[in-house]
């Protein structure tokens, strides 16, 4: 048994008063971020040789900021400290040339959130007690038994729903040893092909994708019509001005589009979770290839299929599950894995993507292209292990 850090996400059902409190907290975090970022910018403009104000110094400025703006006291104090820490990290990444300059946050963004480090309490089966909010209804609390909550994030997404994401410390039991090894080749028609000859299909949600495309089209058309109407109204009426958010027909299309897209993402994630858990249970050593997904997505004919397959998410899940359950994951180079004969080692040269089977001219072995690649991946991994 070992301790791990994992994430748990549950849905919140705040009442009207709590929703108003949440939006105040979202605004307070955004306000502190923008104030600290503006201070850093003006400080540098006035004196480029001045020292950078780090996270601890930003925390010291919070007391004066709360006296000047009393509404900041309505937030969980730890959430404002997390804002300062995140801004400090953003500047450190900038100084290391690993990220761009931090941007100001907008209240018009459809995704709002705040993160705190205070203690949460499970009040009942479907109720939690959150700082400043009191007792709030949730979807479930059974996952929060025997765990230590390290950090929490309350968010509001484009679908109009509220969620609570928790970073918890929990204990997991090691899975039993099977003494089996496997090489995995990822593809588009089939997501995973194992060296054992088993093929696991790619996630498919054609009906949901069709609905998401339909509502995306409606959203774009309604947004265009609303923009035209807003410009015409504001041009003819100088006293009463309209905004794009005043057109509810456009807002409904935006929410429907976001909900279908979220359903696709949730079902894809659920499929990958079950697949990776099944693989980790079956094998002690798993060998995969080190694919550069961003480079492969530059091929516009395959970019959508590669994105839908979620190779990167599949690899990430395998990595942390192997670490949790005491299994071993090896990553090898993908060079020539589909060209080399897994029987005799002959390199038959490059082949077009539509060629899925081939026969080795040297030993005469007939290969399924994907299974042959998976066997070569396994051999490379075992060679590294020795």
Residue ending a domain, choose from 172, 192, 222: 172
Domain identity same for 116 and 138: yes
Specify the number of domains making up the chain: 3
β-bridge partners, 6: 168
Structural contact between residues 253 and 294, judged by C-beta atoms closer than 8 angstroms = no
134-138 vs 2-13, strand pairing mode: antiparallel
Choice among 76, 169, 185, 196 that is catalytic? 185
**Radius of gyration over every alpha carbon of the chain, rounded to an integer in angstroms:** 26
Q: State the pLDDT at residue 242.
A: 80
Structural contact between residues 128 and 136, judged by C-beta atoms closer than 8 angstroms = yes
- Cα separation, 215 vs 344, whole angstroms: 53
Q: What are phi and psi of 59, to 5 degrees?
A: -60, -35
β-bridge partners, 200: 192
Known active-site residue 370: yes
- Give pLDDT < 70 ranges for the chain: 293-301
181-186 vs 285-289, strand pairing mode: parallel
Domain identity same for 154 and 29: yes
The 3-state DSSP class for residue 291 equals coil
Known active-site residue 185: yes
Alpha-carbon dihedral sign for residues 340, 342, 345, 346? negative
Domain identity same for 147 and 120: yes
Choice among 29, 76, 88, 370 that is catalytic? 370
Q: State the pLDDT at residue 166.
A: 93
Which domain does 184 fall in, by range? 175-203+255-386
Known active-site residue 88: no
Residue ending a domain, choose from 238, 254, 270: 254
Domain identity same for 133 and 58: yes
Alpha-carbon dihedral sign for residues 336, 338, 342, 343? negative
Summarised one tens digit per residue, pLDDT across range 366-379 is 888 889 899 999 99
Domain identity same for 29 and 161: yes
Tokens of 290: 């080190």
Domain identity same for 88 and 223: no
User: The domain spanning residue 301 has which CATH number?
Assistant: 3.30.420
Structural contact between residues 156 and 26, judged by C-beta atoms closer than 8 angstroms = yes
Domain identity same for 144 and 13: yes
- Whole-prediction pTM: 0.85
Domain identity same for 222 and 102: no
Domain identity same for 159 and 267: no
Domain identity same for 243 and 347: no
Choice among 88, 289, 290, 357 that is catalytic? 289
């Amino acid at each position: 048994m070992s301790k791990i850090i994992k994430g748990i996400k549950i849905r919140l059902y705040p009442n009207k008063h709590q929703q108003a409190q949440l939006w105040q907290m979202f605004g307070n975090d955004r306000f502190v971020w923008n104030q600290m970022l503006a201070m850093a910018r003006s400080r540098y403009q006035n004196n480029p040789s001045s020292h950078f104000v780090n996270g601890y110094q930003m925390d010291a400025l919070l007391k004066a900021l709360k006296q000047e703006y009393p509404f900041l006291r309505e937030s969980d104090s730890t959430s404002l400290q997390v804002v300062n820490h995140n801004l400090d990290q953003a500047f450190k990444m900038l100084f290391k040339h690993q990220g761009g300059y931090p941007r100001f946050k907008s209240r018009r963004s459809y995704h709002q959130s705040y993160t705190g480090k205070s203690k949460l309490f499970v009040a009942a089966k479907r109720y939690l007690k959150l700082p400043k909010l009191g007792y709030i209804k949730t979807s479930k609390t059974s996952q929060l038994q025997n765990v230590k909550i390290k950090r929490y994030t309350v968010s509001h997404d484009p679908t109009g729903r509220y969620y609570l994401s928790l970073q918890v410390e929990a204990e997991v039991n090691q899975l039993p040893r099977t003494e089996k090894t496997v090489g995995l080749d990822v593809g588009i028609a089939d997501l995973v092909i194992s060296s054992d000859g088993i093929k696991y299909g790619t996630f498919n949600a054609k009906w949901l994708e069709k609905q998401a495309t339909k509502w995306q089209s409606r959203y774009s058309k309604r947004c265009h019509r609303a923009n035209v109407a807003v410009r015409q109204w504001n041009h003819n009426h100088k006293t009463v001005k309209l905004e794009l958010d005043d057109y509810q027909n456009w807002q409904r299309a935006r929410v429907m589009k976001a909900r279908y897209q979220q359903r696709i993402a949730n079902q894809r994630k659920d499929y990958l979770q079950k697949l990776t858990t099944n693989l980790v249970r079956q094998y002690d050593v798993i060998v995969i290839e080190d694919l550069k997904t961003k480079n492969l997505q530059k091929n516009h004919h395959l970019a959508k299929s590669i994105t839908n397959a979620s190779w990167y998410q599949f690899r990430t899940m395998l990595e942390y599950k192997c670490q949790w359950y005491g299994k071993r994951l090896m990553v090898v180079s993908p060079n020539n894995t589909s060209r080399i004969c897994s029987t005799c080692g002959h390199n038959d040269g490059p082949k077009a993507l539509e060629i899925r089977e081939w026969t080795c001219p040297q030993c005469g072995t007939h290969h399924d292209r994907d299974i042959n690649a998976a066997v070569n991946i396994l051999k490379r991994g075992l060679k590294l292990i020795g």
